[in-house]
Amino acid sequence: MDETLSLGRIAGVRVGLHWSVLVVVALITVTLAHGRFPAAHPGHSPVAYWGLAVLTAVVFLGSLLAHELAHAVVARRNGVEVEGITLWMLGGAARLRGEAPSPAAELRIAGAGPITSLLTGGVLAGAAVGLDALHASGLVVEAVAWLAAINILLAVFNALPAAPLDGGRLLRAYLWHRSGDRLRATRGASAAGRALGWFMVLTGFADVLFAGNLSGLWAALIGWFLIAAATAESRQAQIRGVLEGVPVSRVMTPAPVTVRATTSIRDFLAEGPFGPYRHAAFPVLAADGSATGLLTVRRVQDVPPPERDHTMVQEVMRPLGEVVTASPDEPVLDLLPRLQTSPTRRALVLDQGRLVGILSVADVSRALTWPTAPEGPQHPRSELSKEQR
């Protein structure tokens, strides 16, 4: 889930909002200002209802952020790098780079979120009781009480033992501890997530069809999200199982076709697509042979035909600073997140500054579709790989 608006860094973690957060803010605001607040405490002005509803929605987003920050902070303390946090329509997502090193670490990381939400709900419940004892406005007490209840509900829902919920992570930690097999544990948690998702979808639509309750659509939407996310998580686990310990050098395309930085666009086009330039992206080399950037066909197409004679490759390429780079010995799993978020979806493989290969998402996909070799000596497979390269 990519962020639309960056909020900077909190506790050293990059935080952003997805545009769909506006849906949450609007839904909560309308529900409270037009329904719950006037029904519970009539007689206030519309400005009071709507103003407090907006403030309540914003505080709720803050509680979601605290939930995800708890995951991120505990993950960093357990040696897992955190890429960032994005708040979106169905909650938040802390993007972790890599897996927990042990079941115990997984347990701590997963449990941090629900515990934070539960504590937040408890503090807000105490605040609501205190405000009521001080005879504060009943409308304000209602807002604080709603925030307390929704945070406790968030903690309980997230604790359900189904991936990708936090409870699914807890279940995976337990299964991992019992079996010693992280992939098998992930499959079990993902199956539980799909089962819960289908239950919510079916009951949600049944609520709409037989009871006429349109709120069932919301339950069905969350259920659909759980099914999709659990399936994706299972797929990611399979990818990690295949690529675990595999270096970039095993997957990359070695000795790629390159183009000189001083080549004109006209000369470049004259050599393709049936000549050497028959791909969609090419590493660009400086006069001394060092890599200096990456040229894509899309950027070449953006050069008007009259300007192609005097426009050089170095003028339209992506500079090396904007291109993902990797070393031959780097694990593919560590590179994959950067590769997937790169505009070109390619990485230049450099060995002490010298270009030795290029790696694309397509290269990784080919590696994943290759039949798994039986356990045993790997020398014949290695020799075959060298010959085919």
> Mutual orientation of helices 166-179 and 182-211 as an angle, nearest 10°?
140
Q: Clarify whether residues 115 and 149 are in a common domain.
A: yes
pLDDT of residue 99: 77
pLDDT of residue 217: 87
pLDDT exceeds 60 at position 373 = no
As a dihedral over the C-alpha atoms of residue 125, residue 126, residue 131, residue 137, rounded to 10 degrees, the angle is 0
Query: Per residue in 62-83, pLDDT tens?
Result: 999 999 999 999 999 998 888 7
* Average pLDDT value for residue range 328-347: 88
pLDDT of residue 352: 87
Q: Clarify whether residues 30 and 158 are in a common domain.
A: yes
Q: Clarify whether residues 231 and 264 are in a common domain.
A: no
Q: pTM of this prediction? A: 0.71
Q: Clarify whether residues 210 and 101 are in a common domain.
A: yes
Q: Clarify whether residues 283 and 204 are in a common domain.
A: no
- Among 213, 243, 273, the domain-final residue is 243
User: Domain count of the chain?
Assistant: 2
Q: Clarify whether residues 127 and 228 are in a common domain.
A: yes
pLDDT band at 191 (very low <50, low <70, confident <90, very high): very high
Evaluate whether residue 103 is within a structural domain: yes
pLDDT of residue 387: 36
Q: Clarify whether residues 164 and 238 are in a common domain.
A: yes
Evaluate whether residue 380 is within a structural domain: no
Q: Clarify whether residues 58 and 163 are in a common domain.
A: yes
Residue 101, domain extent: 5-243
Query: Per residue in 110-157, pLDDT tens?
Result: 999 999 999 999 999 999 999 999 999 999 999 999 999 999 999 999
369: which residues sit within 8 A by CB, 6+ positions away?
none
pLDDT band at 364 (very low <50, low <70, confident <90, very high): confident
Q: Clarify whether residues 272 and 183 are in a common domain.
A: no
Evaluate whether residue 378 is within a structural domain: no
Query: Per residue in 232-241, pLDDT tens?
Result: 888 878 787 7
pLDDT of residue 90: 62
pLDDT of residue 371: 64
Residue 369's domain is classified under what CATH number?
3.10.580.10
Question: Under a CB-based contact definition with an 8 Å cutoff, are residues 144 and 127 in contact?
Answer: yes
315 vs 14, higher pLDDT: 315
Evaluate whether residue 160 is within a structural domain: yes
pLDDT of residue 182: 85
Highest mean pLDDT among 80-94, 172-186, 239-253, 330-344 belongs to: 172-186
* Average pLDDT value for residue range 248-255: 92
Q: Which positions are catalytic?
A: 68
Evaluate whether residue 51 is within a structural domain: yes
Distance CA 25, CA 131 (A): 25
* Average pLDDT value for residue range 29-42: 92
- Among 243, 278, 305, the domain-final residue is 243
- Among 192, 216, 243, the domain-final residue is 243
pLDDT exceeds 50 at position 51 = yes
Q: Clarify whether residues 79 and 137 are in a common domain.
A: yes
Evaluate whether residue 387 is within a structural domain: no
pLDDT of residue 380: 38
Across the chain, mean pLDDT equals 87
At residue 235's C-alpha, the angle toward residues 229 and 237, to 5°, is: 105
Evaluate whether residue 383 is within a structural domain: no
Query: Per residue in 273-309, pLDDT tens?
Result: 777 777 889 999 999 999 999 999 999 999 999 999 9
* Average pLDDT value for residue range 97-101: 78
Q: Clarify whether residues 254 and 178 are in a common domain.
A: no
pLDDT exceeds 70 at position 385 = no
pLDDT band at 1 (very low <50, low <70, confident <90, very high): low
Q: Clarify whether residues 134 and 218 are in a common domain.
A: yes
pLDDT band at 351 (very low <50, low <70, confident <90, very high): very high
Evaluate whether residue 389 is within a structural domain: no
